[in-house]
Amino acid sequence: MTSDTPVSKQKINVRDLAVSVLIILIGWQLVVWVTEVPRYILPGPLAVAEALFKYSDLLAMHAWVTAIEVVVGLIFGTLLGMATAMYLTMSATATRYMMPILVISQTVPVFALAPILTLWFGYGLGSKIAMTILIIYFPVASSFLDGLRATPKGFLDLAQSMRATKFNTLIRVRLPAALPSLSSGIRLATVYAPIGAIIGEWVGASQGLGYLMLLANGRVKIDLMFAALVTLCIFTLLLRAVTNALCNRLDHWAGQSH
């Protein structure tokens, strides 16, 4: 693993990961045994594993709900971010009036909007998807916009000398040249998206891993809470692996990595 690869793009070596996870688990179990922390404060990994098996159906059902929220939010947030970036690239007027709003809107803590979203979109999937979209929209839009604007000047000169229209230049020159920027935006969004869904579920929901965690917490079923957390981690890792593979293909196609 080279040190000049960005952290977000570093490949995870499964064997190294297994070793470090094992060390953490053993340390954790030892702490629990030695200090005799009560189970309702910190259950040991063995207790969590037990809960994982005991509640596997329940966990799977709630994980499925969260997964749908995250994936749908990720797809629509990415599309919305892309559309915004492309529109801003095409129109100088839009950039002039929309950019300040976009930048200022980032000072609003998105989490603070969660109760309002629940009010508007209800307790179902809608409000969580909206939350996820909100949280990933800006990273995707801004990194794609940066990419669209950073098209090599020579490419644009060439396109102009070949009498390409503004729209064709956007679709056939700027867009493919900006794909690597888009894929780093999507990588970032993949990390954020589950946060949006979980916050949405905390504020008000009847299903999902975030809801399950609050429920378990209220009933002092801390082992179940940890089991839900572990499930969420596994899901996020899988999601990251899938988007990484997709983004790598995108980069490869754009001629960025060989």
Are 52 and 221 in contact, with CB atoms under 8 Å apart?
no
For other proteins, give the closer residue by CB, 13 or 160: 160
- Compute the least distance from the CB of residue 252 to other proteins, in Å: 10
Rounded to 5°, the CA angle 57-58-61 comes to 85
Which one-letter DSSP state was computed for residue 124?
S
| Alpha-carbon gap, residue 228 to 222, rounded angstroms | 10
For other proteins, give the closer residue by CB, 122 or 255: 255
- Compute the least distance from the CB of residue 5 to other proteins, in Å: 19
* Backbone Cα Rg of the chain: 22
* Alpha helices per DSSP H over 36-124: 45-54, 56-90, 92-105, 114-121
Are 125 and 64 in contact, with CB atoms under 8 Å apart?
no
Distances (CA, A) of 238 to 5, 11, 33, 163, 233: 21, 13, 31, 45, 9
For other proteins, give the closer residue by CB, 236 or 248: 248
For other proteins, give the closer residue by CB, 158 or 233: 158
For other proteins, give the closer residue by CB, 158 or 237: 158
Footprint on this chain of other proteins (rule: CB under 8 A)? 152, 154-155, 157-164, 168-169, 172-173, 176-177, 179, 253-256, 258
For other proteins, give the closer residue by CB, 142 or 169: 169
> Amino acid identity of 230?
V
- Compute the least distance from the CB of residue 4 to other proteins, in Å: 19
- Compute the least distance from the CB of residue 164 to other proteins, in Å: 4
Closest to 148 (Cα-Cα) out of 91, 103, 108: 91
- Compute the least distance from the CB of residue 138 to other proteins, in Å: 27
- Compute the least distance from the CB of residue 159 to other proteins, in Å: 6
